[in-house]
Amino acid sequence: MSSKTIIMFSGDLDKAMASLIIANGAAAMGDEVTMFFTFWGLNVLRKAKKIKVKKEFMENMFGFMMPRGADKLALSKMNFGGAGTAMMKSIMKKKNVSSLPALLESAQAMGVKMIACTMSMDVMGIKAEELIDGVELAGVATYLGEAENSNVNLFI
């Protein structure tokens, strides 16, 4: 058994898909997998519904402009104001590829450790209550500890 650590920096649908397909695959093969969500990647972990939390003005603005959760992410290319993303999702459904929320759920069910970067949360004004259940909060030292013990490290 070996370990894999993935930094999920991007909040793009396609990159989140890639990263969760790798995480699910590795977990299914018995590996210990840690995903460290930072910057735009935090959006993957946001709950779909608006959570009432106290925020400053700029935090509210950021929170309002960023996608709320795995089901709201857009493609990094060919988004075309949402049309490309909708098309891609419809193709994936037709081809029986799991959706991003489903991949996230199965990764958690298989024990993939999900960590939200506290410094990014602070900067982007994202509160713990706004994240899906089962997410740990930690900083770069924790990431480095996990990476140290992993034989595959990716930044996505």
Structure token digits, residue 152: 């595959």
Q: Does 123 bind a second copy (CB under 8 A)?
A: yes
3-state secondary structure of 153: strand
Structure token digits, residue 91: 């193709």
Q: Does 1 bind a second copy (CB under 8 A)?
A: no
Enumerate residues 3-22 that contact a second copy by CB under 8 A: 7, 9, 11, 14-15, 17-18, 21-22
Q: Does 64 bind a second copy (CB under 8 A)?
A: no
Q: Are 15 and 44 in contact (CB under 8 A)?
A: no
Q: Does 70 bind a second copy (CB under 8 A)?
A: no
Q: What is the rounded CA–CA span in Å between residue 125 and residue 88?
A: 30
Structure token digits, residue 156: 């996505």
Figure out which of the listed residues 48, 51, 119, 137 binds a second copy, where binding follows CB under 8 A.
119
Work out how close the CB of 115 gets to a second copy at its nearest, in angstroms, rounded to a whole number.
14
Q: What is the rounded CA–CA span in Å between residue 117 and residue 110?
A: 21
Q: What is the rounded CA–CA span in Å between residue 29 and residue 150?
A: 15
Work out how close the CB of 133 gets to a second copy at its nearest, in angstroms, rounded to a whole number.
26
Who contacts 142 (Cβ-Cβ below 8 Å, separation ≥6)?
36, 115
Chain positions contacting a second copy, by CB under 8 A: 2, 7, 9, 11, 14-15, 17-18, 21-22, 25-26, 29, 31, 38-40, 58-59, 61-62, 65-66, 76-78, 87-88, 90-92, 95, 97, 119, 122-123, 125, 140-141, 143-144, 147-148, 150-156
